[in-house]
Structure 1
Amino acid sequence: MADVTVSDVSFLRAGLANGVFGRNIKETTSDIAKENNAIFAINGDFYGFRDSGPVIRNGVLYRSNKRSGSNDVLAVYNDGSFVTMKEENVDAQNLLDSGVLQLFSFGPTLVDNGQISVSANQEVEQSMNSNPRTAIGMISPLHYVFVVSDGRTSESAGLSLAQLAAVMQDAGCQCAYNLDGGGSSTMWFMGDVVNNPTTNGNSISERKVSDIVYIGQ
């Protein structure tokens, strides 16, 4: 877990693999972090794994089409606040015009207005299992919590989404959101990976991903 307070939302940024947006363009979280002179980083929403889901990164709208079904997105506004919303109600261009700097499409929402918003009964079967997890949360604008859980090893069973939500609520988050997990789950700080990523569930190494969330200058 990392508890980070920044003086301006511009220090909370997103990085893209190879510095470009596109399907199946991938690098490790470590490499993307180094290329962006990051201080701290976690993996993002792996937008490039699919063709749909709205994407805004650092104030640039890259993709506006929506995923099928009922999904949540996370918007980071230019005042540093986090807001989650139902993707089917989202107009990405309108969000950009209203001051959204980052828009992530993975989910689900873990905590909303300080209350846990997932339960074991609401989770899809796969997500009920304990797995490596990555989450981002806001205690207040410009005060953030980042959590990465290991899993799939004898040392760490991982977390369910409900357990992850409880961790975020206990940390004081008013809003928290689930990012890509499994083998993608990576936390990097000042040149080192500080967790044990499990690529393909059977080796301790970083999976290559589309994007990261990082603290930088």
Structure 2
Amino acid sequence: MTPQQRPTRKPGRVRKAVTAGAVALTLSAGGATAWALDRFVVPHVEISDVSAYQASQGGTTAAATSAASSGTTEAVTTDSSYVSGTSNISISKVTTGSGDSTVTYYVADVVLTDATVLQSAFANNSFGENITENTSAIAADNNAIFAINGDYYGFRDTGIVIRNGVVFRDAGARQGLAFYRDGTVKVYDETTTTAAQLVADGVWNTLSFGPSLLDNGGIAAGIEDVEVDTNIGNHSIQGEQPRTAVGVIDQNHLVFVVVDGRSPGYSAGVTMTGLAEIMQGLGATTAYNIDGGGSSTMYFNGDLVNNPLGQDKERATSDILYIGQ
């Protein structure tokens, strides 16, 4: 999403952990404070049982997929790899630079036999705004072997949200990423289509954040100028930051990258261009930035893989991408 493509939209994300006092210090008292609390802190549940809703809409639930593959799952002996009848996951740690310029990031190389093995799950099995839970907790609730944080859909009320083949929101606003049932993954303009058309075309999951990092293997233009969800108490996404990205190597061959940051001596984080260069170096031809900062989290086999903000402590988010056991 280049600056020219940016639509006018409501302010971006703050975390549920922001207290009423902190909001009140930033905004005027009275009605403005009440509005801010309602908009950015108070949970608004639209669907309280997502699993049941997906089943009613013909989607595939995590339980169904897990049961279908349980007879073919076999974990290998190392903590950094996993092989099953539906996925092959290999995780590696990369450290570059030195001193305060050190950057540490984690790469999950994932090969799927079926694209629908990659699923999404919402915090507390609920859909709506300001509903949050740690990535590891959402992963555990869904019997995941691997997970990363999602796009934090729950802070905004715009974007196309399709998860596990079911439409949850149809309010196109930005550049999105679409995962198709046949294993292809494409960056697309949400404002030129509808959620119903995407599902009809075979889309299984979407992410709505951005920007796109690579165009046909080349670094996308203008990515250092993009602002996503800049708001009260938040940084823009420019500069060296913790990051999470999805890359496409080939059909059903993906790479997920989580970069730690804001921790001098351990990991400074990377710029958007730096993230694009990492994805390019991994052989991705398409790559897409999703929610970062303290949300950037990779989970594998029951444990955190990365070290969020150098504190080994997660920050809650609204959704994850995951692969079940």
Kindly state the Cα deviation for residue 90 of structure 1 after the two structures are TM-superposed: 2.8
Distance 1:90 1:180 in 2: 23
Kindly state the Cα deviation for residue 51 of structure 1 after the two structures are TM-superposed: 1.1
Residues 149-206 of structure 1: CA distance to partner in whole angstroms, max 9, x if unpaired?
00011121101111101111111111111010001000000011011113xxx85411
Kindly state the Cα deviation for residue 126 of structure 1 after the two structures are TM-superposed: 3.1
Kindly state the Cα deviation for residue 120 of structure 1 after the two structures are TM-superposed: 5.9
Give the equivalent residue in structure 1 for 2:217.
114
Give the equivalent residue in structure 1 for 2:322.
214
Give the equivalent residue in structure 2 for 1:12.
118
* Unaligned segments of structure 2, at least 5 residues: 1-106, 228-234
Residue identity matched to 1:157 = A
Contact 1:119 1:162 in 2 (8 A): no
Residue identity matched to 2:313 = S
Residue identity matched to 1:51 = D
- Out of 174, 191, 194, the position equivalent to 1:91 is 194
Kindly state the Cα deviation for residue 80 of structure 1 after the two structures are TM-superposed: 1.0
Residue identity matched to 1:134 = T
Give the equivalent residue in structure 1 for 2:56.
none
Give the equivalent residue in structure 1 for 2:158.
52
Kindly state the Cα deviation for residue 119 of structure 1 after the two structures are TM-superposed: 4.7
Residue identity matched to 1:10 = T
Contact 1:27 1:210 in 2 (8 A): yes
Contact 1:17 1:211 in 2 (8 A): yes
Contact 1:186 1:197 in 2 (8 A): yes
TM-score by length of 2: 0.62
Residue identity matched to 2:242 = P
Residue identity matched to 1:216 = G
Kindly state the Cα deviation for residue 129 of structure 1 after the two structures are TM-superposed: 0.6
Q: Which runs of 4+ in 1 moved over 2 A?
A: 118-128
- Out of 288, 307, 318, the position equivalent to 1:196 is 307
Matched, 1:162 2:260: no
Residue identity matched to 2:138 = I
Q: SS at the partner of 1:27?
A: coil
Give the equivalent residue in structure 1 for 2:252.
142
Kindly state the Cα deviation for residue 141 of structure 1 after the two structures are TM-superposed: 1.1
* Unaligned segments of structure 1, at least 5 residues: none
Residue identity matched to 2:257 = V
Structure whose residues are more often strand by fraction: 1
Distance 1:22 1:121 in 2: 30
Distance 2:247 2:224 in 1: 22
TM-score by length of 1: 0.92
Contact 1:132 1:152 in 2 (8 A): yes
Compare relative contact order (CA 8 Å, sep 6+) and give the higher one, 1 or 2: 1
Distance 1:118 1:24 in 2: 32
Give the equivalent residue in structure 1 for 2:178.
75
Distance 2:236 2:132 in 1: 24
Matched, 1:33 2:139: yes
Matched, 1:178 2:289: yes
Residue identity matched to 2:141 = E
Percent identity of equivalent pairs: 51
Residue identity matched to 2:201 = S
**Total equivalences in the alignment:** 211
Q: SS at the partner of 2:136?
A: helix
Larger radius of gyration: 2
Kindly state the Cα deviation for residue 118 of structure 1 after the two structures are TM-superposed: 4.0
Report which stretch shifted further, 118-127 or 180-189: 118-127
Q: SS at the partner of 2:178?
A: strand
Kindly state the Cα deviation for residue 216 of structure 1 after the two structures are TM-superposed: 1.7
Contact 1:4 1:145 in 2 (8 A): yes
